[in-house]
Amino acid sequence: MSKTILITGATDGIGKAAAADLIAAGHQVCVHGRDPDKLGAVADELGAAGAWCCDLSDLIEVKLALGQLDQSFDVLINNAGVFKTPQTRTVQGLDTRFAVNTLAPLMLTQALLPGMPGEGRIVNLSSAAQAPVNLDALAGKAQLTDDFQAYAQSKLAITQWTRHLASVVEPLCVAVNPGSLLATKMGTEGFGVAGSDISQGSSIIVRAALSDEFAEHSGAYFDNDAGQFGSPHFDALDRDLNRRVFEVCEALLP
């Protein structure tokens, strides 16, 4: 059965590859990007059903742009992410990594959940890089000067709110590490390495979005480096802490 799917960060890397695979399989895919020209070209190239242009680092823009979406999707794939960036603070005074990797995905998820069927899915891109979340840094009250720390904290934060949300909503919510050091722009710019075949990452995104193997694993963390479900950072095993991270994130949304 054809699914309606929104995938963020779909103009490059594993997001674009996953979108191409989903469209080739007959699904109706809306692709997201922040550059209108590039987004339009990719949407035409892939034959996407729709295109959503939005800068996820600006949460006010996200709020306004939500009105441009047909808010009825079977699957949301929060794939967009940022590691190194020349602008580490957003217009709202937040760390850009937290804004793009953690907070904008929660805004989008909460906006789309009411129109999502019970068998719908939220697929959130996590990472093998996870570090304990400094709640003051998350809230913009403290600054993280190390790019890797900011990225790793943002990825644990999205993993934690994913696990909390899974306990209170019907659609499946899952966090996925798509694989370490893939041949993406983020990997090249962040670590200076060529990286592995991006199909490793795109294929697990497609599986998480559609396959039966994920159907009974809401709240789980899939580690594609190991090729199986596993344990995230130990902080994400603490339900109370997961709820606290979720509450701090939610309070930051405009």
What is the per-residue pLDDT for 197? 79
What is the per-residue pLDDT for 193? 54
What letter does residue 89 receive in the DSSP assignment?
B
Rounded to whole angstroms, the Cα distance separating 93 from 121 reads: 31
Tokens encoding 219: 């709240």
What letter does residue 116 receive in the DSSP assignment?
S
What is the per-residue pLDDT for 196? 64
What is the per-residue pLDDT for 70? 83
Which regions in the chain score pLDDT beneath 70?
181-196
Which of 131, 167, 172 is CA-nearest to residue 149? Answer: 131
Which of 123, 109, 96 is CA-nearest to residue 66? Answer: 109
Tens of pLDDT, residues 173-222 = 999 999 875 655 555 555 555 456 788 999 999 999 999 999 999 999 99
Cα 171 to the center of its chain, rounded Å? 16
Torsion angle of the four alpha carbons 147, 148, 153, 156, in this order, in degrees rounded to the nearest 10? 140
Sequence-separated (6 or more) residues with CB below 8 Å from residue 226: none
What is the per-residue pLDDT for 198? 86
Strand partners, 29: 5
Positive or negative, the CA dihedral 129, 130, 134, 135 is: positive
Give the β-pairing of 228-230 and 221-223: antiparallel
Host domain of residue 124: 4-252
Torsion angle of the four alpha carbons 193, 180, 74, 247, in this order, in degrees rounded to the nearest 10? -110
Q: Is-contact 152 249, C-beta < 8 A?
A: no
Number of domains comprising the chain: 1
What letter does residue 92 receive in the DSSP assignment?
T
Rounded to whole angstroms, the Cα distance separating 145 from 148 reads: 9
Cβ neighbour number for residue 214 with a 10 Å cutoff = 20
Tokens encoding 139: 């809230």
Rounded to whole angstroms, the Cα distance separating 90 from 56 reads: 10
Rounded to whole angstroms, the Cα distance separating 134 from 155 reads: 12
Rounded to whole angstroms, the Cα distance separating 176 from 200 reads: 12
Q: What is the domain-level CATH number for residue 41?
A: 3.40.50.720
